[in-house]
Amino acid sequence: VQLQASGGGLVQAGGSLRLSCAASGRAFSSYAMGWFRQAPGKEREFVATIFWNNGKTYYAEFAEGRFTISKDNAKNMAYLQMNSLKPEDTSVYYCAVTSLSDLENVDRMKATSPLMPDYWGQGTQVTVSS
C-alpha cells in the first residue's frame, strides 16, 4: 500500500485547510485510514481516523468540532477538513493505514494509536500563523 498526502500549506489562524490522502495498492479486508501529526521536538500524535468499511470516525479531543475526516471509497481517498486552525496545529500531518480485527474496542485502540499503523504516507506540512 502506498499513501500520498497532500494539501498542506501556510494559513492564518482561524483559516481552513483540506488535506487529502490517496491510497494505492491492496490494503486489508478491514482497515482504518487515519491522520496523525508531529510537531518539532514532539511525539507523533493521533488526530482522526475513519473505518473504511463502516465509516465510523474517532477524533482527538483537540480535533473535535474543528476537524472532519471523510472518505471516498470509489477514489480510495481520505480527507481531513481542518477549520478554525490555531498556531498550535502547526505540524507535519501524516496519513496512515491500520489493519483492524472487527472487534470494536480493540479496533478503536489500534486506529487511534500512532504506534499501530501498518503503512504511512510521507507527510504534509501545515503551518498556522498567528
**pLDDT over 90 (residue 64):** yes
Residue 44 CB coordination number (10 Å): 18
β-partners of residue 100 are none
* pLDDT tens figures, 92-101: 999 999 999 9
Give percent of the chain above pLDDT 90: 92
Mean pLDDT of the chain: 95
* pLDDT tens figures, 76-126: 999 999 999 999 999 999 999 999 998 888 999 999 999 999 999 999 999
For residue 26, the model assigns a pLDDT of 74
**pLDDT over 80 (residue 44):** yes
State the virtual CA torsion across 88, 92, 98, 104 in degrees, nearest 10. 10
β-partners of residue 126 are 9, 91
For residue 105, the model assigns a pLDDT of 86
Residue of 6, 20, 124 whose CA lies nearest to 70:
20
Give percent of the chain above pLDDT 70: 99
Angstrom CA distances, 99 to 29, 50, 85, 129, stand at 8, 12, 30, 35
Residue 5 pLDDT class (50, 70, 90 cuts): very high
CA-based torsion, 64, 72, 120, 32: positive or negative: positive
For residue 53, the model assigns a pLDDT of 92
